[in-house]
Amino acid sequence: MVIAPTISLLIWYIIGLSSFDALLLFVILFAIVFAIIYLVSAYLHNSRVNQLTRIIKNISHKQFEVYDDIQLQKNDELDDLIKQTIRASRMVEKELIRLNKIENYRKEFIGDISHELKTPIFAIQGFIETLLNGAIHDDEVNEVFLHKAMRNVNRLTYLTKDLMEISRLETGELKTNIQEVFLRDLIMDVVESLQFKAQKENIELVLHDFDKNIQIRADRNQIKQVLVNLIENAIKYNKENGKVEIGVTVLNRDKVELFVKDTGIGIDPKDIERVTERFYRVDKSRSREKGGTGLGLSIVKHIIEAHGEKLTIESEPEKSSTFRFTLSRVSHVSV
Ligand SMILES: Nc1ncnc2c1ncn2[C@@H]1O[C@H](COP(=O)(O)OP(=O)(O)O)[C@@H](O)[C@H]1O
Ligand SMILES: [Mg+2]
Protein backbone atom coordinates (compact mmCIF):
# COMPACT_ATOMS: atom_id res chain seq x y z
CA MET A 1 0.00 0.00 0.00
CA VAL A 2 2.73 2.38 0.98
CA ILE A 3 5.20 1.04 -1.60
CA ALA A 4 3.20 2.09 -4.73
CA PRO A 5 2.83 5.81 -3.85
CA THR A 6 6.43 5.83 -2.54
CA ILE A 7 7.79 4.42 -5.84
CA SER A 8 5.60 6.81 -7.90
CA LEU A 9 6.85 9.68 -5.75
CA LEU A 10 10.44 8.54 -6.15
CA ILE A 11 10.13 8.25 -9.95
CA TRP A 12 8.50 11.64 -10.15
CA TYR A 13 11.30 13.02 -7.94
CA ILE A 14 14.06 11.32 -9.99
CA ILE A 15 12.62 12.60 -13.27
CA GLY A 16 12.74 16.08 -11.85
CA LEU A 17 16.39 15.70 -10.79
CA SER A 18 19.55 16.47 -12.75
CA SER A 19 21.46 13.39 -13.94
CA PHE A 20 24.21 13.93 -11.36
CA ASP A 21 21.72 14.13 -8.51
CA ALA A 22 19.93 11.05 -9.82
CA LEU A 23 23.21 9.11 -9.87
CA LEU A 24 23.97 10.27 -6.37
CA LEU A 25 20.56 9.16 -5.20
CA PHE A 26 21.08 5.73 -6.80
CA VAL A 27 24.41 5.35 -5.06
CA ILE A 28 22.90 6.33 -1.70
CA LEU A 29 19.96 3.94 -2.18
CA PHE A 30 22.31 1.16 -3.22
CA ALA A 31 24.47 1.78 -0.15
CA ILE A 32 21.42 1.69 2.14
CA VAL A 33 20.14 -1.58 0.63
CA PHE A 34 23.63 -3.10 0.83
CA ALA A 35 24.00 -2.03 4.47
CA ILE A 36 20.60 -3.56 5.35
CA ILE A 37 21.47 -6.86 3.66
CA TYR A 38 24.88 -6.88 5.32
CA LEU A 39 23.43 -6.18 8.77
CA VAL A 40 20.73 -8.87 8.43
CA SER A 41 23.19 -11.52 7.28
CA ALA A 42 25.70 -10.50 9.94
CA TYR A 43 22.93 -10.85 12.52
CA LEU A 44 22.01 -14.33 11.24
CA HIS A 45 25.64 -15.35 11.10
CA ASN A 46 26.22 -14.11 14.62
CA SER A 47 23.26 -15.94 16.01
CA ARG A 48 24.58 -19.23 14.52
CA VAL A 49 28.04 -18.52 15.91
CA ASN A 50 26.41 -17.93 19.28
CA GLN A 51 24.61 -21.25 19.01
CA LEU A 52 27.88 -22.96 18.20
CA THR A 53 29.55 -21.27 21.18
CA ARG A 54 26.66 -22.42 23.38
CA ILE A 55 27.09 -26.06 22.28
CA ILE A 56 30.86 -25.99 22.80
CA LYS A 57 30.49 -24.31 26.20
CA ASN A 58 27.93 -26.94 27.22
CA ILE A 59 30.30 -29.75 26.21
CA SER A 60 33.10 -28.24 28.27
CA HIS A 61 30.71 -28.03 31.26
CA LYS A 62 29.57 -31.64 30.65
CA GLN A 63 26.05 -30.44 29.92
CA PHE A 64 24.29 -32.13 27.06
CA GLU A 65 21.10 -30.79 25.54
CA VAL A 66 18.99 -32.14 22.70
CA TYR A 67 19.36 -28.97 20.53
CA ASP A 68 16.06 -29.47 18.74
CA ASP A 69 15.59 -25.67 18.77
CA ILE A 70 18.48 -25.10 16.37
CA GLN A 71 17.20 -24.67 12.82
CA LEU A 72 19.80 -25.08 10.12
CA GLN A 73 18.62 -24.15 6.65
CA LYS A 74 21.60 -22.57 4.95
CA ASN A 75 23.59 -25.77 4.44
CA ASP A 76 26.82 -23.80 4.37
CA GLU A 77 30.11 -24.54 6.16
CA LEU A 78 28.89 -23.02 9.41
CA ASP A 79 25.78 -25.24 9.38
CA ASP A 80 28.02 -28.25 8.81
CA LEU A 81 30.21 -27.23 11.71
CA ILE A 82 27.17 -26.86 13.99
CA LYS A 83 25.84 -30.27 12.92
CA GLN A 84 29.21 -31.90 13.58
CA THR A 85 29.46 -30.23 16.98
CA ILE A 86 25.97 -31.48 17.94
CA ARG A 87 27.05 -34.98 16.85
CA ALA A 88 30.26 -34.67 18.89
CA SER A 89 28.21 -33.55 21.89
CA ARG A 90 26.04 -36.68 21.61
CA MET A 91 29.11 -38.90 21.33
CA VAL A 92 30.83 -37.31 24.33
CA GLU A 93 27.60 -37.74 26.31
CA LYS A 94 27.35 -41.43 25.40
CA GLU A 95 31.01 -42.02 26.19
CA LEU A 96 30.68 -40.31 29.57
CA ILE A 97 27.64 -42.45 30.43
CA ARG A 98 29.62 -45.56 29.44
CA LEU A 99 32.64 -44.54 31.51
CA ASN A 100 30.45 -43.73 34.52
CA LYS A 101 28.85 -47.13 34.23
CA ILE A 102 32.24 -48.85 34.14
CA GLU A 103 33.44 -46.78 37.07
CA ASN A 104 30.34 -47.62 39.13
CA TYR A 105 30.63 -51.25 38.16
CA ARG A 106 34.30 -51.26 39.22
CA LYS A 107 33.53 -49.62 42.57
CA GLU A 108 30.67 -52.04 43.20
CA PHE A 109 32.80 -55.00 42.18
CA ILE A 110 35.65 -54.04 44.51
CA GLY A 111 33.14 -53.49 47.32
CA ASP A 112 31.59 -56.91 46.71
CA ILE A 113 34.95 -58.65 46.53
CA SER A 114 36.28 -57.13 49.75
CA HIS A 115 33.04 -58.05 51.47
CA GLU A 116 33.25 -61.65 50.23
CA LEU A 117 36.94 -62.00 51.13
CA LYS A 118 36.47 -60.58 54.62
CA THR A 119 34.39 -63.48 55.94
CA PRO A 120 36.78 -66.38 55.24
CA ILE A 121 39.90 -64.33 56.05
CA PHE A 122 38.55 -63.30 59.46
CA ALA A 123 37.45 -66.87 60.14
CA ILE A 124 40.93 -68.24 59.32
CA GLN A 125 42.50 -65.53 61.46
CA GLY A 126 40.19 -66.44 64.36
CA PHE A 127 40.92 -70.17 64.23
CA ILE A 128 44.69 -69.68 63.97
CA GLU A 129 44.72 -67.16 66.83
CA THR A 130 42.74 -69.54 69.04
CA LEU A 131 45.12 -72.38 68.19
CA LEU A 132 48.18 -70.21 68.94
CA ASN A 133 46.65 -69.08 72.21
CA GLY A 134 46.78 -72.64 73.51
CA ALA A 135 44.03 -74.58 71.70
CA ILE A 136 46.72 -76.33 69.68
CA HIS A 137 47.48 -78.48 72.75
CA ASP A 138 43.80 -79.29 73.32
CA ASP A 139 43.27 -82.54 71.44
CA GLU A 140 39.50 -82.10 71.59
CA VAL A 141 39.44 -78.99 69.41
CA ASN A 142 42.78 -78.58 67.65
CA GLU A 143 41.92 -80.77 64.67
CA VAL A 144 38.40 -79.36 64.42
CA PHE A 145 39.76 -75.81 64.25
CA LEU A 146 42.33 -76.78 61.65
CA HIS A 147 39.60 -78.37 59.50
CA LYS A 148 37.46 -75.27 59.85
CA ALA A 149 40.40 -73.06 58.85
CA MET A 150 41.03 -75.37 55.90
CA ARG A 151 37.38 -75.08 54.79
CA ASN A 152 37.74 -71.33 54.72
CA VAL A 153 41.00 -71.58 52.78
CA ASN A 154 39.10 -73.71 50.25
CA ARG A 155 36.43 -71.03 50.10
CA LEU A 156 39.06 -68.45 49.27
CA THR A 157 40.38 -70.73 46.54
CA TYR A 158 36.92 -71.15 44.90
CA LEU A 159 36.31 -67.46 45.22
CA THR A 160 39.61 -66.52 43.59
CA LYS A 161 39.02 -69.01 40.78
CA ASP A 162 35.49 -67.71 40.09
CA LEU A 163 36.61 -64.09 40.37
CA MET A 164 39.38 -64.64 37.85
CA GLU A 165 36.95 -66.37 35.52
CA ILE A 166 34.33 -63.64 35.73
CA SER A 167 36.82 -60.82 35.36
CA ARG A 168 38.33 -62.49 32.28
CA LEU A 169 34.82 -62.90 30.85
CA GLU A 170 33.81 -59.34 31.64
CA THR A 171 36.93 -57.70 30.29
CA GLY A 172 36.61 -59.75 27.13
CA GLU A 173 40.04 -61.30 27.75
CA LEU A 174 38.53 -64.76 27.57
CA LYS A 175 37.63 -65.21 23.93
CA THR A 176 35.16 -67.90 22.98
CA ASN A 177 36.87 -70.54 20.96
CA ILE A 178 34.03 -71.81 18.78
CA GLN A 179 34.44 -75.34 17.46
CA GLU A 180 32.23 -78.14 16.20
CA VAL A 181 31.56 -80.36 19.20
CA PHE A 182 29.66 -83.63 19.67
CA LEU A 183 27.06 -82.63 22.24
CA ARG A 184 26.47 -86.03 23.85
CA ASP A 185 30.18 -86.59 24.56
CA LEU A 186 30.42 -83.17 26.16
CA ILE A 187 27.38 -83.66 28.41
CA MET A 188 28.42 -87.19 29.37
CA ASP A 189 31.87 -85.95 30.44
CA VAL A 190 30.27 -83.42 32.76
CA VAL A 191 27.65 -85.80 34.16
CA GLU A 192 30.28 -88.46 34.88
CA SER A 193 32.53 -85.97 36.65
CA LEU A 194 29.66 -84.93 38.94
CA GLN A 195 28.24 -88.39 39.59
CA PHE A 196 30.30 -88.84 42.77
CA LYS A 197 29.24 -85.48 44.18
CA ALA A 198 25.58 -86.29 43.50
CA GLN A 199 25.80 -89.72 45.14
CA LYS A 200 27.38 -88.19 48.23
CA GLU A 201 24.32 -85.93 48.55
CA ASN A 202 21.90 -88.74 47.70
CA ILE A 203 20.83 -87.09 44.51
CA GLU A 204 20.05 -89.04 41.37
CA LEU A 205 21.57 -87.64 38.15
CA VAL A 206 19.59 -88.62 35.06
CA LEU A 207 20.77 -87.89 31.53
CA HIS A 208 17.96 -88.29 29.00
CA ASP A 209 19.08 -90.06 25.89
CA PHE A 210 19.35 -88.17 22.62
CA ASP A 211 20.91 -88.47 19.15
CA LYS A 212 24.64 -88.97 19.64
CA ASN A 213 25.38 -87.44 16.25
CA ILE A 214 24.17 -83.97 17.17
CA GLN A 215 27.00 -81.50 16.83
CA ILE A 216 27.00 -77.98 18.16
CA ARG A 217 29.05 -74.91 17.38
CA ALA A 218 30.38 -73.73 20.73
CA ASP A 219 33.35 -73.32 23.03
CA ARG A 220 33.69 -76.79 24.51
CA ASN A 221 35.27 -75.77 27.82
CA GLN A 222 32.91 -72.89 28.38
CA ILE A 223 29.78 -74.98 27.76
CA LYS A 224 31.20 -77.61 30.11
CA GLN A 225 31.62 -74.88 32.71
CA VAL A 226 27.98 -73.81 32.20
CA LEU A 227 26.76 -77.37 32.72
CA VAL A 228 28.99 -77.93 35.76
CA ASN A 229 27.68 -74.75 37.40
CA LEU A 230 24.03 -75.56 36.63
CA ILE A 231 24.25 -79.21 37.69
CA GLU A 232 26.21 -78.35 40.85
CA ASN A 233 23.47 -75.86 41.77
CA ALA A 234 20.78 -78.44 40.99
CA ILE A 235 22.53 -80.83 43.41
CA LYS A 236 23.22 -78.18 46.07
CA TYR A 237 19.75 -76.65 46.15
CA ASN A 238 17.93 -79.97 45.95
CA LYS A 239 16.00 -81.89 48.57
CA GLU A 240 16.83 -85.15 50.30
CA ASN A 241 16.77 -88.02 47.75
CA GLY A 242 16.13 -85.52 45.00
CA LYS A 243 16.66 -85.86 41.29
CA VAL A 244 18.45 -83.85 38.59
CA GLU A 245 17.49 -84.36 34.96
CA ILE A 246 19.65 -83.23 32.09
CA GLY A 247 18.37 -83.33 28.54
CA VAL A 248 18.45 -81.93 25.05
CA THR A 249 15.52 -80.89 22.89
CA VAL A 250 16.01 -80.40 19.19
CA LEU A 251 14.18 -77.18 18.34
CA ASN A 252 14.87 -77.07 14.60
CA ARG A 253 17.65 -77.60 12.04
CA ASP A 254 19.72 -74.82 13.56
CA LYS A 255 19.05 -74.93 17.29
CA VAL A 256 19.03 -77.30 20.22
CA GLU A 257 17.95 -76.54 23.76
CA LEU A 258 19.69 -77.94 26.83
CA PHE A 259 17.94 -78.16 30.16
CA VAL A 260 18.89 -78.93 33.74
CA LYS A 261 15.87 -79.63 35.92
CA ASP A 262 15.83 -80.37 39.62
CA THR A 263 13.38 -81.36 42.33
CA GLY A 264 14.81 -78.80 44.73
CA ILE A 265 13.87 -75.85 46.88
CA GLY A 266 12.96 -73.70 43.87
CA ILE A 267 13.40 -69.97 43.42
CA ASP A 268 10.86 -67.32 44.28
CA PRO A 269 9.65 -65.36 41.19
CA LYS A 270 11.07 -62.11 42.62
CA ASP A 271 14.54 -63.68 42.89
CA ILE A 272 14.58 -65.32 39.46
CA GLU A 273 15.81 -62.27 37.57
CA ARG A 274 18.39 -61.49 40.23
CA VAL A 275 20.09 -64.88 40.67
CA THR A 276 22.37 -64.23 37.70
CA GLU A 277 23.72 -61.04 39.32
CA ARG A 278 27.20 -61.23 40.78
CA PHE A 279 27.17 -62.42 44.41
CA TYR A 280 23.36 -62.59 44.56
CA ARG A 281 22.25 -65.51 46.70
CA VAL A 282 18.74 -66.19 47.92
CA ASP A 283 20.00 -67.84 51.06
CA LYS A 284 23.55 -66.69 51.81
CA SER A 285 24.24 -69.12 54.61
CA ARG A 286 23.00 -72.15 52.66
CA SER A 287 25.10 -71.13 49.68
CA ARG A 288 28.24 -70.57 51.81
CA GLU A 289 27.74 -73.80 53.70
CA LYS A 290 27.70 -75.62 50.35
CA GLY A 291 30.84 -73.83 49.16
CA GLY A 292 29.01 -71.36 46.88
CA THR A 293 30.51 -68.06 45.83
CA GLY A 294 27.43 -66.45 44.31
CA LEU A 295 29.25 -66.16 41.00
CA GLY A 296 28.25 -69.43 39.33
CA LEU A 297 25.15 -68.17 37.53
CA SER A 298 26.80 -64.88 36.51
CA ILE A 299 29.49 -66.93 34.81
CA VAL A 300 26.79 -69.08 33.16
CA LYS A 301 24.95 -66.02 31.86
CA HIS A 302 28.14 -64.42 30.52
CA ILE A 303 29.17 -67.55 28.66
CA ILE A 304 25.73 -68.12 27.15
CA GLU A 305 25.47 -64.50 26.04
CA ALA A 306 28.99 -64.66 24.57
CA HIS A 307 27.61 -67.49 22.41
CA GLY A 308 24.77 -65.21 21.32
CA GLU A 309 22.22 -67.35 23.16
CA LYS A 310 19.87 -66.84 26.10
CA LEU A 311 19.41 -68.45 29.51
CA THR A 312 15.87 -68.91 30.79
CA ILE A 313 14.90 -69.90 34.30
CA GLU A 314 11.59 -71.36 35.39
CA SER A 315 10.82 -72.40 38.90
CA GLU A 316 8.11 -73.54 41.20
CA PRO A 317 9.11 -72.66 44.76
CA GLU A 318 9.52 -75.67 47.04
CA LYS A 319 9.20 -77.97 44.04
CA SER A 320 11.63 -77.55 41.19
CA SER A 321 13.74 -75.30 39.00
CA THR A 322 14.58 -75.63 35.33
CA PHE A 323 17.44 -73.83 33.62
CA ARG A 324 17.39 -73.84 29.81
CA PHE A 325 19.62 -72.43 27.12
CA THR A 326 19.87 -72.79 23.38
CA LEU A 327 22.91 -73.60 21.26
CA SER A 328 23.62 -73.52 17.52
CA ARG A 329 23.63 -76.84 15.71
CA VAL A 330 26.00 -77.75 12.98
CA SER A 331 23.79 -78.46 10.01
CA HIS A 332 25.60 -80.57 7.45
CA VAL A 333 24.12 -79.59 4.16
CA SER A 334 24.33 -82.48 1.70
CA VAL A 335 25.42 -81.36 -1.74
N1 LIG B 1 18.82 -75.00 41.03
C2 LIG B 1 18.59 -74.05 41.94
N3 LIG B 1 17.55 -74.16 42.81
C4 LIG B 1 17.30 -73.20 43.72
N5 LIG B 1 18.03 -72.09 43.86
C6 LIG B 1 19.08 -71.90 43.03
C7 LIG B 1 19.41 -72.89 42.03
N8 LIG B 1 20.47 -72.44 41.35
C9 LIG B 1 20.80 -71.25 41.90
N10 LIG B 1 19.98 -70.93 42.91
C11 LIG B 1 20.00 -69.70 43.72
O12 LIG B 1 20.75 -68.73 43.00
C13 LIG B 1 21.85 -68.26 43.79
C14 LIG B 1 23.01 -67.91 42.87
O15 LIG B 1 23.54 -69.08 42.28
P16 LIG B 1 25.09 -69.11 41.93
O17 LIG B 1 25.39 -67.88 41.15
O18 LIG B 1 25.41 -70.41 41.30
O19 LIG B 1 25.81 -68.95 43.32
P20 LIG B 1 26.13 -70.01 44.47
O21 LIG B 1 25.64 -71.34 44.04
O22 LIG B 1 27.60 -69.95 44.58
O23 LIG B 1 25.44 -69.46 45.67
C24 LIG B 1 22.13 -69.38 44.76
O25 LIG B 1 22.76 -68.90 45.92
C26 LIG B 1 20.72 -69.89 45.05
O27 LIG B 1 20.11 -69.07 46.01
MG1 LIG C 1 26.44 -72.02 42.11
Domain positions in the chain: 3-93, 179-329
Q: Pairing mode, if any, of strands 311-316 and 320-329?
A: antiparallel
As for ligand 1, residues whose beta carbon falls within 6 Å of it are: 229, 233-234, 237, 262, 264-267, 275, 280-283, 287, 292-298, 321
What is the identity of the amino acid at 2? V
Burial class of 308 by CB neighbour count within 10 A (0 to 12, 13 to 18, 19+): exposed
Tell me, in angstroms, the distance from the centre of ligand 1 to residue 234's CA: 8
Residue range 123-164, pLDDT digits in tens: 999 999 999 999 999 999 999 999 999 999 999 999 999 999
Beta bridge partners of 323: 260, 313
Q: What percent of the chain stands above pLDDT 70?
A: 96
Task: List the residue whose alpha carbon is closest to atom 22 of ligand 1.
Answer: 292
Distance CA 148, CA 33 (A): 96
pLDDT-derived band at 3 (thresholds 50, 70, 90) equals low
Q: Which CATH superfamily is domain 179-329 in?
A: Histidine kinase-like ATPase, C-terminal domain (3.30.565.10)
Residue 1 has pLDDT above 60, yes or no: no
Q: Who's near 29: CB < 8 A, 6+ residues apart?
A: none
Q: What is the pTM of this model?
A: 0.75
Residue 17 has pLDDT above 80, yes or no: no
More confident residue, 2 or 117: 117
Q: Pairing mode, if any, of strands 215-218 and 243-250?
A: unpaired
Task: List the residue whose alpha carbon is closest to atom 19 of ligand 1.
Answer: 294
Residue range 247-287, pLDDT digits in tens: 999 999 999 999 999 999 999 999 999 999 999 999 888 88
The answer to whether 234 and 304 are in contact (CB under 8 A) is no
Tell me, in angstroms, the distance from the centre of ligand 2 to residue 250's CA: 27
Ligand 1 atom with the shortest distance to the CA of 287: 23
Tell me, in angstroms, the distance from the centre of ligand 2 to residue 234's CA: 9
The answer to whether 247 and 258 are in contact (CB under 8 A) is yes
Residue 311 has pLDDT above 70, yes or no: yes
Distance CA 226, CA 304 (A): 8
Q: What is the pLDDT of residue 335?
A: 45
Q: What is the pLDDT of residue 331?
A: 79
